[in-house]
Amino acid sequence: MQILRDLVEEPLESALTDIGITQDFWRKALGPSREKSQGDISLPCFAFAKQLAMNPNDIAANLADKIKGNFSVEATGGYLNFKADADWLATQVMSGVVKAKTRDVLIEHTSANPNGPFHVGRARNAILGDTLVRLNRLYGNNVKAEYYVDDMGKQVGVLAWALDNLTEDQVDEILDDSEAVNPKWSDKKDHQIVRWYQAAQQLRSTSTDDSIEEEIGKLVHASEHGDDTVLAKFEEAYTPVLNGMLETLSRLGIEFDTFTKESKFVVDGSVSKLMDRMQQLEIHGEADNGAFFLDLGQRGLKGKTDFFYRRGDGSSLYATRDIAYHMWKWSQCDNLINILGEDHKLQAKQVGMTLQELGEKVPEVMFYAFIKLPEGKMSTRKGNVVFMDDLLEEAQAQAAAVVRNLRADLSDEEISGIAEAVGVSAVRYNIVKVSPDKGFTFRWEEALSFEGESAPFIMYSHTRACSIAKKVGRNASYPGLGEIPTAMFELLRTMACFSDKLRQSVVENKPHVFALYLLELATAYNAFYRDCHVIMDGSVNEFNFSISEKARSLLREGMIGIGIIPLETM
RNA sequence: GGACACGUGGCCCAGCUGGAUAAGGCGGCGGCCUCCUAAGCCGCAGAUCGCGGGUUCGAAUCCUGCCGUGUCCGCCA
C-alpha cells in the first residue's frame, strides 16, 4: 500500500534515527504485511537487533511509541505493523489515484506463423500478450500492439507451393480424412487452408520425388532474397489464413495496431546493412563455406556459442532478420516487450547479446511455458489438439446452459450475449491467472469453470454493483465519511492496493499478479455487499452507495485491463 | 551429455529482491435464499513447501548435490 508507505516513511525515519539507525536499508525491509490482520505494511526489526544490542520486540515497541499519524502502529513479535485508519483510508480511496506518466511501449505478441488455426497452446501467447497490452494502457502507457508476420521462409513456402500444386481432391486423398475439418469451421479459411499445408507436409515426408523439395527450396530461396513476385505469391497464400486466425483472436477481444512483415527488412536493405555491421564486430567468425557467425562464447554464452547469422550463399537467417526488426522496433518506442514461448529462450538470448554488441538496447521478454493436454504434448498431426474456435464454442454453449438455468426471465438473445461474454472471459482468465513460467495442462473442466477463481466470479460481483446502481437510478455523490464496518474497511484496504498491484503487474510483466488481485477485490466486494447494504427499507445509504460505486468503477477498469468483459447483468 | 525453467495439502495455484501461525480455489463434509442477482456467503477437514547438505539470528524463498517434469542445444522458422 504505497499511499500508506508515503505517509509512514518520514516519521519512521526520524524514529529510527532517534534510536540510532541511520543506514537506509530499512527502506528495503519495509514492505506489505504478510499477516493482513496485523497491518498493511510492516517493518521486521530483527536486523537491528545486533547493532542495538536489543531484542527485536523491544526495538519495535520502542519505535511504535515514537510514531504517530493517520494509522495505527503496533509492535508484535519483532515486527512494527502499520495499519491505515479507516477514515483516512476512505478519504484517500474516494479521492482517486494519480496516473503514472506515459511511456511509449511496443508490445509484440502472438506473431504466429500464418499457416493454420489457433490451438489453445498458441493462444497462451496471444492472451498473455494482449493482457499486458491492456494493463499497460490502464497504467497510462501509450501502447502499440504489434504482430510480426512471418511472410517468408519455409513454412509459408510450403503453403504457397501446396496451394499452387495440389487440388482439393488431391488434398483430401493425401489426408485421407484423418484430420477432417469440424463442419462448423468448414467455411473458415484458416481451418480450410491448413489442409493444404498438412497435405504438403505429409507429401514431403513420404514422397521420394525430390522435385517437390527443389521447387519449395527455390521459392524459399527467392523469398529470402526479397523476390517481389514470390513474396506476393506468399502473401496471397497466407493472407486468408491470417485473417481466419485474427477472427478467432478478435472473438477473444484481441486486436493489433500494426502488422509488420518479416520481408520488409530484407526488401528495404536493412538486413544486408546489418550483416555488414555484424561482420565488423570483434567476435565475428567465418565458416569454411562462407557462412558467418558471432562467437557469443566470448561474451559469456554457455553451451552452443556460435551464432550463425548469414548462410554460405549470403542469405540471412530468421534470427538475423529478427535483429533488424528489433532495431526498427526501438525506433518506435521507449520500451519494448516481446512475448515468447520458452522454446525461444536461446534465440532471444542470442538476439539480445547481438543487440548489445551492436550498442542497441535489449528488449524485455516475457517467456511462457507450453500448454499441454492431459494426454501429452499438443500435436495437430496426432489429432491431440484443442482448437481455440472449438473451445470458445463450447465455453459459450456451457455458459448459455448456466444462464438459462439461472435466469428464466431472459430472452434467448440476451442469454446468448451473456454466455458469449462469460465464455470468452472465462477462457482468458483461466490462462492469465497463472504465472507464465508455470507449465500448464489444459483441462476442459478448468477452462469452463464458472465458479471460484474464475472470470465469472469477478463478473458476478461487478453485476451486483451494477444492479445496485441501476436500482438507485442516479449517480452517487460522496456525502463525506460515514460509518465504516469491518467489511467496508477490508474493501477499502483492498481498493487502496489497486494501483500498487497494477504497477507491479506492469513493471514486472506479470499479468497474473493483477488477475489474482481482481479476485481479492471481488471477494472483498462480496463481503461488503453482504454486510453493508446500500438500499435499506427503500432508502439509500449515500455513503455506502458511493463506496459501492467506487468499487464498481475499479472492478470495471480492472476487468477491462485483464480482458474480462464487464457485463452489467448476468 | 550440456544449458535454462519448473517441482507447495487428493487436484490446481499464490508467495520465492530471506522474515510472523504457508494465502486462495477445486474436490470432500456441514450450514445460509420471506433480506440490493446463491455464478454468492459462512464453517470444518486436509501441507515432511521434491530429497540431502550449506549460508543465516531466521530458508518455501539464497547456494550446492541429487531426483522428477518441461524446453532448447539446425548455415530451420
Model confidence at A98, pLDDT cuts 50, 70, 90, reads: low
User: Of the ranges A216-230, A369-383, A480-494, which one carries the lowest mean pLDDT score?
Assistant: A369-383
| DSSP H/E element including A338 | strand A335-341
Model confidence at A176, pLDDT cuts 50, 70, 90, reads: confident
Eight-state DSSP code of residue A316 = B
Mean pLDDT of the region A107-114: 96
Task: Report phi then psi at A155, rounded to 5.
Answer: -60, -50
Distance from residue A341's CA to nucleotide B70's C1', rounded to whole Å: 12
Beta-bridge partners for A441: A372
Distance of CA A377 to the CA centre of its chain: 22
Q: Where are the beta strands (DSSP E) in A439-529?
A: 440-441
Burial of A52 (0-12, 13-18, 19+ CB in 10 A): middle
Task: Report phi then psi at A284, rounded to 5.
Answer: -65, 145
Beta-bridge partners for A365: A338
Q: Is A256 left (phi over 0), alpha (psi -120 to 50) or beta?
A: beta
Distance from residue A360's CA to nucleotide B75's C1', rounded to whole Å: 25
Mean pLDDT of the region A72-92: 94
Burial of A339 (0-12, 13-18, 19+ CB in 10 A): buried
- Percentage of chain A beyond pLDDT 70 is 99
Distance from residue A33's CA to nucleotide B45's C1', rounded to whole Å: 28
Q: Is A478 helix (H, G, I), strand (E, B) or coil?
A: coil
Q: What is the pLDDT of residue A263?
A: 95
| DSSP H/E element including A430 | helix A412-432
Q: Is A308 helix (H, G, I), strand (E, B) or coil?
A: strand
Residue A402 CB in 7 A reach of strand B = yes
Distance from residue A143's CA to nucleotide B24's C1', rounded to whole Å: 32
DSSP string, A347-403: HHHHHHHHHHHTTPPPPEEEEEPPEEBTTBS-BTTTTB--BHHHHHHHHHHHHHHHH
Closest CA to A336 of A345, A346, A326: A326
Instruction: Specify which residue's alpha carbon is closest to the C1' of nucleotide B70.
Output: A439
Q: How far is the C-alpha of A363 from the C-alpha of A344, rounded, in Å?
A: 14
Model confidence at A100, pLDDT cuts 50, 70, 90, reads: low
Q: What is the pLDDT of residue A415?
A: 96
Proportion of chain A in helix, strand, coil states, percent, rounded to 5: 55, 15, 30
- Percentage of chain A beyond pLDDT 90 is 83
Q: Tens digit of pLDDT for each residue in A500-511?
A: 999 999 999 999
Distance from residue A441's CA to nucleotide B67's C1', rounded to whole Å: 22
CATH number 3.30.300.30 is the correct assignment for the domain at A2-84:
no
Q: What is the pLDDT of residue A304?
A: 85
User: Which residues are CB-neighbours of A426 under 8 A, at least 6 positions away?
Assistant: A395, A399, A447, A448, A449, A450, A454, A455, A456
Beta-bridge partners for A148: A260
Q: Tens digit of pLDDT for each residue in A292-340?
A: 999 999 998 888 889 999 999 899 999 999 999 999 999 999 999 999 9
Instruction: Specify which residue's alpha carbon is closest to the C1' of nucleotide B38.
Output: A406
The CATH 3.30.1360.70 domain(s) of chain A lie at: 2-84
Residue A144 CB in 7 A reach of strand B = no
Do the strands A284-286 and A292-295 form a parallel or antiparallel pair, or are they unpaired?
antiparallel
Q: What is the pLDDT of residue A20?
A: 85
Model confidence at A179: pLDDT above 80: no
Model confidence at A77, pLDDT cuts 50, 70, 90, reads: confident
On whether ipTM exceeds 0.90, the answer is yes
Model confidence at A152: pLDDT above 70: yes
Counted residue by residue, chain A has a size of 570
> What is the 3-class SS of A1-34, one letter each residue?
CHHHHHHHHHHHHHHHHHCCCCCCCHHHHCEECC
**Window 338-357 of chain A: CB closer than 7 A to strand B:** 342-347
Residue A314 CB in 7 A reach of strand B = no
Q: Is A295 helix (H, G, I), strand (E, B) or coil?
A: strand
Instruction: Specify which residue's alpha carbon is closest to the C1' of nucleotide B36.
Output: A468
Model confidence at A383: pLDDT above 80: no
Closest CA to A323 of A274, A280, A286: A274
Q: Tens digit of pLDDT for each residue in A232-266?
A: 999 999 999 999 999 999 999 999 999 999 999 99
- Amino acid identity of residue A312, one-letter, is G
Distance of CA A30 to the CA centre of its chain: 29
Q: What is the pLDDT of residue A375?
A: 86
User: Which residues are CB-neighbours of A559 under 8 A, at least 6 positions away?
Assistant: A425, A458, A459, A462, A518, A565, A566
Q: How far is the C-alpha of A251 from the C-alpha of A390, rounded, in Å?
A: 12
First-to-final CA distance of chain A: 33
Q: How far is the C-alpha of A186 from the C-alpha of A372, rounded, in Å?
A: 26
Q: What is the mean pLDDT of chain A?
A: 94
Mean pLDDT of the region A53-70: 91
Helix axes A511-531, A120-139, angle to 10 degrees: 70
Model confidence at A182: pLDDT above 90: no
Laid out side by side, the sheet with A41-44 consists of A31-32, A41-44, A79-84, A71-76
Residue A217 CB in 7 A reach of strand B = no
Model confidence at A404: pLDDT above 90: yes
Angle in degrees, CA A122, A393, A520, rounded to 5: 70
Q: Tens digit of pLDDT for each residue in A419-468?
A: 999 999 999 999 999 999 999 999 999 999 999 999 999 999 999 999 99
Q: Tens digit of pLDDT for each residue in A3-56?
A: 999 999 999 999 999 988 888 888 889 999 988 888 999 999 998 888 888 888
Place of cell 506468399: A234
Residue A244 CB in 7 A reach of strand B = no
Residues A534, A541: contact at Cβ < 8 Å? yes
Q: What is the pLDDT of residue A25?
A: 83
DSSP string, A44-110: E-GGGHHHHTS-HHHHHHHHHHH--BSEEEEEETTEEEEEE-HHHHHHHHHH--PPPPP-EEEEE--
User: Of the ranges A210-214, A534-538, A546-550, which one carries the lowest mean pLDDT score?
Assistant: A210-214
Domain A393-433+443-562 class, CATH top level? mainly alpha
A442-465 in b/e form (b: 16+ CB < 10 A) is: beeeebbbbeeebbbbbbbbbbbb
Burial of A488 (0-12, 13-18, 19+ CB in 10 A): buried
Distance from residue A48's CA to nucleotide B55's C1', rounded to whole Å: 20
Do the strands A535-536 and A539-540 form a parallel or antiparallel pair, or are they unpaired?
antiparallel
Q: Is A462 helix (H, G, I), strand (E, B) or coil?
A: helix
Residue A377 CB in 7 A reach of strand B = yes
Q: How far is the C-alpha of A470 from the C-alpha of A403, rounded, in Å?
A: 20
The CATH 1.10.730.10 domain(s) of chain A lie at: 393-433+443-562
